[in-house]
Copies of this chain bind each other. A is one copy, B any other.
Amino acid sequence: MEKEKKYTIAECRQSLTAIKDVMELLSGKWKFRIIGGLMINGKMRFMDLLRTVDGIAAKMLSKELVELEQNELLTRTVLNTKPITVEYELTAHGKTLAPLITTIASWGISHRRFLFRKRKPVPQL
C-alpha cells in the first residue's frame, strides 16, 4: 500500500543547497565544540570558552564566534567591567540546532559500534 516517496528535481537541489549551507557553517574543527559548550553551560565569557574548548587558539575562537554571530546562532554582549569582558550565549535560533546535534551524535555512536563489530580499526577516543 505504501507508495515510495519520490522527490522532484527542485526538492533535490534545495536539499543539496541546504546541506552545503550547513556544512559551510558548521564544519571545521571547532564549531560543534563551541556550540556544545554554550548549550551545556549557558552564558560563557571568551576566556571560559578558551578553557572549555580545549586546544583552540584565541585567534580561531574569535573567528568562529564571529561567524556564528553573523548567522545569529549566538549573541555577543560586551560588559562594562574594568578590563572588558564579553559574554556569548546561544540565541533561540541557535538552540534549534539541538536535534541536529543529537541526530549526528547518535548516528556517529552507532557507526562506531558498527565498525567495532566488524573489527575494523576505529579512531581512538
Contact = CB atoms under 8 A, between A and B. Distances in A.
A66 to B, nearest CB: 14
A104 B18 contact: yes
A40 B7 contact: yes
Nearest to A100: B107
A108 B33 contact: no
Interface size bracket, A side: 35 or more
A14 B27 CA distance: 18
A75 to B, nearest CB: 14
A72 B105 CA distance: 18
Interface in A61-86: 70-72
Contacts of A105: 14-15, 18-19, 22
A12 to B, nearest CB: 7
Given A21-B111, A103-B100, A111-B21, A16 B32 contact: yes
A93 interface: yes
The list of the 5 closest CB pairs from A to B, nearest first, reads A18-B108, A15-B105, A27-B27, A22-B108, A103-B103
